A = this chain, B = another copy of it.
Amino acid sequence: MRVGVIGGGQLARMMIPAAINLGIELRVLAESEGMAAELATAGVGDYRNVDDVLPFASTVDVVTFDHEHVPQSVLRALVEAGVAVRPGPDALQYAQDKILMRQKLSELGMPVPRWAAVSDASELADFLDQNGGVAVVKTARGGYDGKGVRVVRAAHEADDWFMALAEDANGGPLLAEELVDFRRELAQSVARRPSGEVTAWPVVESIQRDGVCAEVIAPAPSSAGKLAQVAADVATGIAEGLGVTGVLAVELFETVDDRILVNELAMRPHNSGHWSIEGSTTSQFEQHLRAVLDLPLGATGCVYPWTVMVNILGGPTAGTLADRYPGVFEDHPTAKVHNYGKTPRPGRKIGHVTVSGADLDEVAYDARAAAVQLTD
């Protein structure tokens, strides 16, 4: 069994232990030498170039992804050449284009924020008028400006994006969404295999700092009962409705008026699921491999009452994560450190730490303290 992964980042890296356990040969097409998944790197190439991707794909039984950036043209060329691509291009388009995603989720009756595709300042002004004078504006396809998300209170605040899109042959409208008044953010991961089986992990709480996932609590506190079921049903419905294969992570808002709204989708293992390596009977990385190989899926229950994962970002000081191991291991004997083998840069995700146990306060304190020690 050979699984090819396009992209050599930490998600591909974390598939390697799962592949070793199951005796699956993992082959990574990396963007460059020395990436996080170097140990399984079978070649270096440009994922936007079908001449790099197709020869790689011909050496494996199934192709999957470390990211969602492979262009539709390349994906469809692979499918035409008979490659098993999981998730396939029909599903991936919804992870690549936020307007397509909103349209499709609305068609499926999924709970989403109020939204509109807006082509110019006048349409954005109309949306603002209808939504209390504030909107979240997003580029449908990331990359025009930083992370491509902006809160606007006047239509002219998106003029630069409208201008950039007007000059882009592949440009299109922007996505305007209501600014959701949410209590907290949740994430619900599921896995689906081609023959139809879907399994859901418990819904988790995702705590963002500066727009980046900082911490995940599994399961989400106070999520027993209806909330957990609604979240699992929404993600399962999306996986089935969009024909996703492999892991699907659905970022959710829990609103102040107790609704669940879908924020973003990721069709791959996701930062919000790293807790599952230690915290669930089957990790998202093992499950993703099982799913893309169309093997029966593993049990997804929690191993511990509580698992907390905290990301480790590159800090302001020099030195590697390993330099901090003596102190961190001494002070946190139950902490599981994951080091992505990346050169630290301020703000770059270079690892994560997971702590599990019976008391949430203790577990969360320990995980946060270990992450701070690894960062500062």
Residues of A within 8 A of B (CB): 1, 13-14, 16-17, 20-24, 39-40, 281-282, 290, 295-299, 303-304, 320-322, 325-326, 329-330, 333-334, 336-341, 351, 356
Contacts and interface: CB of A to CB of B under 8 A. Distances in A.
Max count, chain B CB within 10 A of own CB: residue among A1, A23, A295, A303:
A23
A89 B334 CA distance: 31
Contacts of A303: 303-304
B295 A329 contact: yes
A contact face: mostly helix, strand, loop, or mixed: mixed
B23 A329 contact: no
Contact of A296 (B13, B281, B329, B338): B329
Contacts of A298: 329, 333-334
How many identical subunits does the complex contain?
A: 2
B339 A21 contact: yes
Contact of A330 (B13, B296, B333): B296
A23 B340 contact: yes
Nearest to A304: B303
Contact of A333 (B296, B325, B356): B296
A299 B24 CA distance: 30
Contacts of A39: 16, 20, 39-40
A325 B296 CA distance: 8
30 contacts: A13-B20, A14-B20, A16-B17, A16-B20, A17-B20, A17-B21, A20-B39, A21-B336, A21-B337, A21-B338, A21-B339, A22-B322, A22-B325, A22-B337, A22-B338, A22-B339, A23-B321, A23-B322, A23-B339, A23-B341, A24-B322, A281-B356, A295-B325, A295-B329, A296-B325, A296-B329, A296-B333, A299-B334, A303-B303, A303-B304
A278 to B, nearest CB: 8
Contacts of A320: 23
Contacts of A330: 296
A340 B23 CA distance: 6
A178 B139 CA distance: 79
Nearest to A320: B23
A21 B320 CA distance: 15
Nearest to A281: B334
A310 B1 CA distance: 23
